[in-house]
A and B are shown apart, each in its own frame.
Chain A
Amino acid sequence: MNKMINLMIDGIDVKVSQDTSIIEAASSVGIKIPSLCYHQDLLPSAGCGICVVEIEGQPLPKRACCTPVYEGMKVKTNSIELRSLRKMLLEMILADHYVDCPTCISNNKCDLQDLAYIMGVKTEENAPLQTRKPIDESSVSIIRDPNKCINCGRCVTVCNDIQTVYALTTVHRGFESEINTPFSKGMAESTCINCGQCVVFCPTAALTEKTHTEQVWNELLNPAKHLVIQAAPAVRATLGEEFGMEEGSLSVGKMYAAFRKLGFNAVFDTNFTADLTIMEEGTEFVNRFTSGGTLPLITSCSPGWIKFMETFYPDLADNVSTCKSPQQMFGALVKTYYAENKNVNPKDIVSVSIMPCTAKKFEANRPEMQDSGYKDVDYVLTTREIARMIKEAGIDFAKLEDEKADDLMGIYTGAATIFGATGGVMEAALRSAYYLITKENLPSPEIKAVRGMEGIKEAIVDVKGTKVKIAVAHSLGKARELMDRIRQQIQETGKSDYHFIEVMACPGGCVGGGGQPFQSNLAARARRGEALYKEDSELELRLSHENPAVVEVYEKFLKAPGSEIAHKLLHTNYFKRDIMSGDIIEEATHKH
């Protein structure tokens, strides 16, 4: 048990456990010490110095984010000296920051802007010191603008400590120091896997998604085009936040209504193909499990994870499900199944997806993703981008009447909805795999062992006497831990004792994706996930194999899970990538 420490902050008695920092101790009694680089879910980098406080008996102010408390400590968080120190630090940061707030993508969502405003620091008093540096636009997912970077180091901490992707680092020193990729080659020529966690943790707009709203507007306003939209399961739990709703508010019906008002001809959820993924992946698992195939089977929905695997674990590529992600399955079906049924020429279809994710932009642009004969998904927009479009169109989101999705690909189950939270794909897959093996449904569809924010969750599921060992990892650091364990097991005994593994690149799963509303902390991600479990529990259909639209697509078009046409449209293969540049070296698996 941790020793408890008594201290006093601004005259208030505080009791916290040992190793707590002053900033955390203050926050526990409702005192918010001004800070910029500090983030509650990251190790402090002590970069900005804004959080300085006075400690009785100590000659100089200390940074509250990285100073641990001690017994009898007396802290003062505000004084004339502290205010002037903070202002000076902020002035220096602003002098090295490219200020274009009105047109900046982070306007009103920027920690630096907030702080300058509340502290009354003016930019015009500080002549900008900087010469403009080139913007890194090499990546299809993420733009890095060093002119807006304040060197707080949050992105470096997320990229290295939480995601273990090692794409970003602090380079050079002193005034020249900046955040960059190895050999300053740009994000596209690095190990960056496009997860976008750097984007959601960035306090300014130094890291943002590469936006495609202009292109989508042009398509929407072109009467010759037929626009089909799909929204990922996690978007329903976060889109409302962009319009002032509380974290964890579901806005399914309003979301459909907003999409129609924007001018989309057909409105769907990716949930439909999440159910389809379960059919394909569930069948793949049952086949591998019952016929001695390569195990564990590892899920393939998360495009950040896929590129991570291709870069760091190509030796495990055979373990990864051949299923495309739900986004790409949807894209492949829109320009085939949907086009045929609705009598639309697939070349006139513009397929747009709304994703909680920046890596989905990369995925949609992978050259192999054109099995429909066209680019399967034309544009990927993040939750933030579609929210901007809804605002531009002058739609009062909160007042929209609920609408329904279109038919053909518009029905989904609760199993599909929970794809957006860590553990959801596993839970959904087990619900159907159990059925595929036993021809009976689970006594209760809820598998609580795989829910929650624990980094790696493990369980043994009893399928009528057969034990299935499963694990769920979210964040790539945790995925790395799990993959190292599997690698070691394979090296030592020739096989791993896991049967089925879910990996999501982002902490919390897609609800915490890099395309989600900014400033998502882990607690907020958990609340978003709860919203998805709530929708699942309230839906009548909770099992993917009972989705009538999925049954229909197999009857009319795909024949059966794993059929030849299903393989052509819904499955894919993987590559081995260079550990320096992320470039493709060779095929790691072949498409059947």
Chain B
Amino acid sequence: MYQEILKKYEPTKDNLIYILHDIQDNDPQHYVSESAVQSVSEYLRIPVNHIYGVLTFYTMYSTTPRGKNVIRLCESPPCYLRGSDNILAKLKNTLGIKTGETTSDGLFTLELCACLGLCGNAPVMMINDDFYGDLTDDKIDQIIHNIREAK
């Protein structure tokens, strides 16, 4: 099932990161599964443990299934100074989950991440590929509400 993705890339080791991103982006649960790792290992001839090391080194990858919408809240100092810890508390409260967890309806996963490069709009978060800046409690309510409605 990963052959479609794999055959887009030359089987060289330097393609590992791109392939893993591609697999994760195309997975409805936004993660890289064990069977995906095995397929990549066979295709690139890289041992499974090395791939697992890469997957866990970069925070953008996940080896466990995630929600439809992955929220990544920046925890770097500029966002922190602008109150990202309050935003985190608000997110936890609104979603009823802790950092790293997924809501029971499978709609949201909450994660922390390093600087997203939008410090001018701190505090900042990403939901999947979209950025949200100048966050306030009201904004969070609105964003979460909109996504829930759009479902």
Contacts and interface: CB of A to CB of B under 8 A. Distances in A.
Given A160-B47, A580-B34, A580-B38, A182 B52 contact: yes
B111 to A, nearest CB: 14
Contacts of B151: none
A160 B49 CA distance: 9
B18 interface: no
A183 B38 contact: no
Most chain A beta-carbon neighbours within 10 Å: one of B41, B47, B50, B57:
B47
A238 B81 CA distance: 61
A169 interface: yes
A78 interface: no
Contact of B48 (A171, A173, A579): A579
Contacts of A170: 53
A65 to B, nearest CB: 22
B15 interface: no
B50 A169 contact: yes
B53 A169 contact: yes
A579 B50 contact: no
A166 B52 CA distance: 11
B88 interface: no
Contact of A181 (B38, B49, B51): B49
A418 B130 CA distance: 67
A446 B52 CA distance: 47
A182 B57 contact: no
A166 B56 contact: no
Interface string A170-212: 1111000000011100000011000000000000000000000
A144 to B, nearest CB: 14
A183 B47 contact: no
A190 B34 CA distance: 12
B57 A183 contact: no
Q: Which of A168, A170, A172, A182 is the most central at the interface, judged by chain B CB atoms within 10 Å of its CB?
A: A182
A7 B123 CA distance: 55
A167 interface: yes
A574 to B, nearest CB: 22
B49 A172 contact: no
Interface residues of A, number: 16
B74 interface: no
B71 interface: no
B37 interface: yes
Interface in B58-76: 63
Interface in A198-232: none
B25 to A, nearest CB: 21
B34 A166 contact: no
Nearest to B58: A173
Nearest to B51: A182
A180 to B, nearest CB: 8
B89 to A, nearest CB: 23
Contacts of B47: 160, 166
Nearest to A159: B49
Interface in A401-434: none
A46 B53 CA distance: 18
B50 A183 contact: no
Nearest to B59: A173
Contacts of B41: 579
Interface in B14-52: 34, 37-38, 41, 47-52
B49 A169 contact: yes
A167 B49 CA distance: 6
User: Which one of A167, A168, A170, A191 has the greatest number of beta carbons of chain B within 10 Å?
Assistant: A170
Nearest to B46: A166
Among the interface residues B41, B53, B63, which one has the most CB atoms of the partner chain A within 10 A? B53
Contacts of B34: 183, 580
A579 B38 contact: yes
Interface string A132-170: 000000000000000000000000000010000011111
A384 to B, nearest CB: 27
A166 B49 contact: yes
A171 B38 contact: no
B63 A172 contact: no
A166 B41 CA distance: 12
Contact of A172 (B50, B51, B57): B57
B40 to A, nearest CB: 12
A169 B52 contact: yes
Given A579-B38, A580-B48, A183 B53 contact: no
A311 to B, nearest CB: 11
Given A182-B37, A183-B63, A166 B57 contact: no
Contacts of A580: 34, 38, 48
Contacts of B51: 182
Interface in A528-580: 579-580
A185 to B, nearest CB: 9
A520 B53 CA distance: 28
Nearest to A182: B52
Given A183-B34, A579-B38, A580-B38, A171 B50 contact: no
B57 A173 contact: yes
Contacts of A172: 56-57
Given A169-B52, A182-B51, A190-B49, 13 more contacts: A160-B47, A160-B49, A166-B48, A166-B49, A170-B53, A171-B56, A172-B56, A172-B57, A183-B63, A579-B41, A579-B48, A580-B34, A580-B38
30 contacts: A160-B47, A160-B49, A160-B50, A166-B47, A166-B49, A166-B50, A167-B49, A168-B49, A169-B49, A169-B50, A171-B52, A171-B56, A171-B57, A172-B56, A172-B57, A173-B56, A173-B57, A181-B49, A182-B37, A182-B49, A182-B51, A183-B34, A183-B52, A190-B49, A191-B48, A191-B49, A579-B38, A579-B41, A580-B38, A580-B48
10 shortest interchain CB distances as A-B pairs: A166-B47, A169-B49, A182-B52, A171-B56, A169-B53, A166-B49, A172-B56, A182-B49, A182-B48, A173-B57
